[in-house]
Chain A
C-alpha cells in the first residue's frame, strides 16, 4: 500500500485500539471457524467502520421455473444478447459424439445395464464384518471345530516328512525376514518375506516328496463365487493373496458319517444383528458369477492352500477375529467356485481347501470342507471348518533389548521360538502329498 496511508493508519490507531483490533479479529475467527484464521487481516483504512468480517450470505436456491406445456417462451436467442423481460434460452443437452473418459457422467442407478431390483451382498477383501467368525459361519452354513484335524498333524511327526535341521533353518528364516532383509537397523513392517521364506523351506522337500511338484503358486488371481442364503443373494469377490493350486484334489478330512451328523447341528444365531451387516450391499451386480480366476483348461484346477497376509495392504486394518472370518469366507468362495465349475450343481464328494493367515508372527490355520452347495435353508448337511487361531511362531524379535528398571526383560534378537507352529504349517503343506 502507499506509505502515506499506512502512516495514517498507524497514527490513527492508538495503542489501546490496536489491542481491540486484534481481539475483534480473533473473536471473528472463533465465531466463523478456523478457515478465517488463515486469511489475511483486512486493511481497515477507515476507523469508524465495523471491524468484524461478515459471513457471506447463504446462496439462495434458484427460483423454480414452471414449464407450462403448449406455451412457448419468448427468448432472446434470436437477439443474441440479453434483453430484460425475455426468457433465457434453454439449449438442448449437448452430447459428445466420441467417448472421452475425463468427462464421462455415469447414468443413474436404475438405468445401469447390470441393475437389478433385488440387492446382493458382496464380501470383498476389505470387509470388516461385525460378528467375525460367527457371521461367516452363518453365511456359509458351516460347523466350527476348533483345532486342526489330528490325522494331518500325525503326518509331520514322521522324521521323513521333516526338513533336515528344521528348527535352525526356520529360525534363520525368521531372522532373515525380521532383521537381515534390509540395510536399515530397524526391520521394515512388510511381512511377505517371512511367508516367502517359509514356503521356500517347504519347497526344498520337492526332492523327497514328488507329489508336491504337482502344484503351482499363483500370486494374483480374481475370485468370484455366488450363492443364495434364505432370500438374500451373497457373493465373494476379490483378489486376496497367494494360492497354491494342485493337479489332484485334496482328500476329504471327515468321513460320510461325520458329514451326515452335521445335519443335526444348529447354526449359531446372533439376533438382533442381521447376518448381512457390514457386507457391501449393491443392486448392480452380475448374477450367478462363479470364477476361480483361471481358465477352464488350467492344468491345476484344484485349490490346495490359500495364504493370507494381514497388514499387507495399509489402507485397511482387520482385527484377528475379522481376519479369521475373511480367511473363512475366501476359502469357502474358492471351494464353492470350484464346486460349481467342476461338479455342477450337485456335489458328489466333499471339496477340501486349506488356508493359512499370518501377520508375521501370529498364524491362523484353517481347513474347510465343502459338503453341500445347497445353502438356501438352515437344515440339512452343513459344511465343516477346522480352525486353529492365534498360534504364535515366536514371542519377540527385537533389535534392541527391552530394559525395564535396569533389568533386561526381553533380550535382543529372536526370543521364544515355538517349533510346533512350523510343524502345523508343514502339515498343511504336505497334506495330500504324503
Chain B
C-alpha cells in the first residue's frame, strides 16, 4: 500500500538519529525549584542541598571550616575505653569490618599464617627474608632494639614511679626512643623517611555523623536529628609522610563483609555527650607538606595495663581494648587525612586511605592496619553505600621475656621483623 503512505511526522522519524547526538534544547523557562525561605519541608530540603553544594564548591580550608562550623551536642568517643565490647560498638560507629591477622604483604614468606612465635632455626636461616633490608642491617637493628630496652630498664637510674605513672616514666621514653632510632636507621632503605615528620605526643581529631535519632523532648520533639561523634586522640608518637601508602586490598572486596549492627542508642555503651569546638586534625594543620599518615604508636596507660586488668578479673577484655583503640584511632586519622584531601560526607573518597598502628605496653606489641574506603557515614549518604572500612589486627605479641643483669632474655625476632616490615611499607 505505497499510495496511502502518509508522511511520517518529523519528530518521530528514526534511522539516521541513531549515531547523531541528542539535540539540546535551551529551556524557555527557568527550572521550577521550591522556595528557599518558605516555612516548608521542601524549602528546608532545598536549603540543605544548597548548603551541600556550597561546601562542595568551596576551597579546601573553607570546606573544613564549613563542615565543622556549628557546635552541637555530640558523643565524645574515647579510643582507650573501659567499656565492654567496645570493639563491636566502634565497628558499628565507624562502619568497619575486622579481619584477624595482617594483610598479605606483612605475612611471612615461609608460612601463610601470620608470624607469631618463629622457630629459632627458621629465623636464623633468613632473618631478613621478605623485607627489603639485608641480614646485616637486621642484625644491627636487633642490637639497637636490645640497647634501647636495656637503656630504659637497666642502665638509666630512675626513681620509683608514683602510682599509675609507671608507663609514663618507663615505657613512654622507651617507645619514643625506639621509634626515633628505628625510623632514622631505616631511612637508608625507605626514602619516605627522609622527608617524613615525626610527631611526639600529637593531637588527632575527627568529627563525623552516623545514624539519627528522634528528639525525645523539647521544642524540636519528634524531629529526626543526626547523631554526631568526635574523637580526640593523643598517640605517643606518629610518622606522617608526603606520599600516600598503597592500598592493602580492593575497595570492592569488602562489599560483602560483615559489620555488626547495633540498634541501641550509643548512650548504653556508655558514651557521653558534650558540646565544644569540632576539630578535624591529622597532627598538623593544612599547610604542612606531610599530609598522609604512615604509622601511629600508642601506649597502653597504667589503668588498662594487662596486670591491672587481671587484678580486676578482666583479662578477656585486654584484646578487645586494643582492637577498639586501634579502630577508633586509625579511623580518626585516616578520616582526617581524607578530609585534608577534600573528601567528606557527601563527596566520598575516590581512593582508599591506608594507615598503620602499633599499640604496646612496653613488652607486648599489637599490630594493626586500617583501610578507609568510605567517609560517607551519615544517614543520607549511607543508604545506598555498599563500601565498608577494614581493620586488620594481630593478637598481642611479646617482644622480650625479661631484663636481668644487663641482658634481655627471650627477644622475639618475629616481632622485630613485623616492626621493620611495618616501617618499610612504602608506595
Q: Are A179 and B285 in contact (CB under 8 A)?
A: yes
Instruction: Closest A residue to B283 by CB, please name it.
Output: A181
Which of the segments A33-41, A291-299, A310-318, A425-433 contacts the partner chain? A291-299
Give Cα distance in the complex from A206 to B371, angstroms.
32
Q: Is there a chain A Cβ closer than 8 Å to B187's Cβ? A: yes
| Interface pair A206/B188, CB less than 8 Å apart | yes
Task: Determine which of B180, B279, B288 lies in contact with A203 in the assembled complex, contact meaning CB atoms within 8 Å.
Answer: B180
Assembly CA distance A179 to B285 (angstroms): 8
A182 at the interface (CB under 8 A from B): yes
Report yes or no: A295 in contact with B197, Cβ–Cβ below 8 A.
Answer: no
Task: Give CA–CA (A217, B174) in the complex, Å.
Answer: 10
As a 0/1 sequence over residues 193 to 222 of chain A, the CB contacts with chain B under 8 angstroms (1 = contact) are 100110010011011000001001111111
* Residue contact A295 to B155, C-beta cutoff 8 Å: yes
A125 located at the interface, meaning its Cβ lies under 8 Å from any Cβ of chain B in the complex: no
| Residue tally, chain A, CB below 8 Å to B | 33
A294 touches B155 (CB 8 A): yes
Assess the B284–A219 pair: CB atoms within 8 A: no
Closest B residue to A291 by beta carbon equals B157
Interface residues of A in 160-217 (CB under 8 A from B): 164, 172, 175-176, 179-183, 192-193, 196-197, 200, 203-204, 206-207, 213, 216-217
**Closest chain A residue to B191, Cβ basis:** A207
Of chain B, the residue at the smallest CB distance from A216 is B151
Q: In the assembled complex, which residues on chain A have CB atoms less than 8 Å from the CB atom of B151?
A: 216, 218, 294, 298
Is the beta-carbon distance between A220 and B173 smaller than 8 angstroms? yes
Q: Which single member of B194, B205, B287 contacts A183 (CB below 8 Å)? A: B205
- Bound together, the chains give a CA A280 to CA B154 distance in angstroms of 31
In the complex, the chain A residue whose C-beta lies closest to that of B280 is A183
B410 at the interface (CB under 8 A from A): no
Q: Smallest CB–CB gap between B403 and chain A, Å?
A: 12
**Given A175-B287, A220-B173, are A203 and B184 neighbors across the interface (CB < 8 Å)?**
yes
Q: Contact: A295 with B181, CB < 8 Å?
A: no
Q: Which residue of chain B has its CB nearest to the CB of A295?
A: B155
CB-based contact A295/B287 at 8 Å = no
Query: Who on chain A is nearest to B281 by CB?
Result: A183
- Bound-state CA distance A207–B188 (Å) is 5
Cα(A197)–Cα(B237), bound, Å: 13
| Cβ-neighbour of B203 out of A182, A200, A299 (below 8 A) | A182
Within 8 A of A (CB), among B194-246: 194, 197-200, 202-203, 205
B281 with A207: CB separation less than 8 A: no
- Interface residue count for B (Cβ, 8 Å)? 36
A182 and chain B: residue at smallest CB distance = B203
Contacts A179-B285, A180-B284, A291-B157 given; indicate if A219 touches B173 (C-beta within 8 A): yes
Q: Which residue of B lies closest to A190 (CB)?
A: B201
Q: Does B107 contact A (CB under 8 A)?
A: no
Contact between chains at B155 and A298 (CB < 8 Å): yes
B16 contacts across to A, CB distance below 8 A: none
Closest residue on chain A to residue B144 by CB atoms: A213
**Given A221-B156, A293-B157, are A206 and B184 neighbors across the interface (CB < 8 Å)?**
yes
Q: Which one of A183, A207, A216 lies within 8 Å of B177 (CB-CB)?
A: A216
Q: Mark B165-202, 1 if CB is under 8 A from A, else 0.
A: 00000000100110011001101100001100111101
* CB neighbours of B176 from chain A (8 A): 219
Residue of B nearest to A296 (CB): B155
Q: Which residue of A lies closest to B188 (CB)?
A: A207
The answer to whether A216 and B156 touch across the interface, beta carbons within 8 angstroms, is no
A212 nearest CB neighbor, chain B only = B184
* Contact status B288-A180, CB under 8 Å: yes
- The answer to whether A176 and B279 touch (CB under 8 A), given A220-B173, A298-B151, is no
B154 touches A176 (CB 8 A): no
In whole angstroms, what is the CA distance A21 to B176 when docked? 69
Minimum Cβ distance to chain A for residue B100 (Å):
35
* Chain B min CB distance to A238 (Å): 13
Given the complex of chains A and B, what is the CA–CA distance between A298 and B150 in angstroms? 9
**Chain B residues near A176 (CB-CB < 8 A):** 197, 284, 288
Q: CA A298 – CA B155 in complex, angstroms?
A: 6
Say yes or no: A217 contacts B157, CB within 8 Å.
no
Digitize B116-158: 1 where CB-to-A-CB distance is under 8 Å, 0 elsewhere: 0000000000000000000000000000000110010011111
B109 at the interface (CB under 8 A from A): no
* A206: contacting residue among B156, B159, B187, CB under 8 A: B187
Q: Is B406 an interface residue (CB 8 A)?
A: yes
> Chain A contacts of B285 at CB under 8 A?
179-180
* Closest B residue by C-beta to A210: B188
Bound-complex Cα distance A266 to B199 (A): 48
| Nearest-CB residue, chain B, relative to A207 | B188
A172→B156 contact, CB < 8 A: no
**Distance (Å) between the CB of B305 and the closest chain A CB?**
21
Q: In whole angstroms, how far apart are the Cα atoms of A204 and B205 in the complex?
A: 28
**Complex contact A297–B203 (CB within 8 A):** no
Given A179-B285, A213-B185, 15 more pairs with CB closer than 8 A: A172-B288, A175-B288, A179-B287, A183-B277, A196-B200, A204-B184, A206-B184, A206-B187, A207-B188, A207-B194, A216-B147, A220-B173, A221-B156, A291-B157, A295-B154
Listed from nearest, the 9 A-B pairs whose CB atoms lie closest are: A207-B188, A203-B184, A180-B285, A180-B284, A298-B155, A219-B173, A183-B279, A294-B155, A295-B155
Residue contacts A-B, CB under 8 angstroms, 8 given: A176-B288, A181-B284, A183-B203, A206-B184, A220-B173, A221-B156, A294-B151, A298-B155
A→B interface (CB under 8 Å) = 164, 172, 175-176, 179-183, 192-193, 196-197, 200, 203-204, 206-207, 213, 216-222, 291, 293-295, 297-299
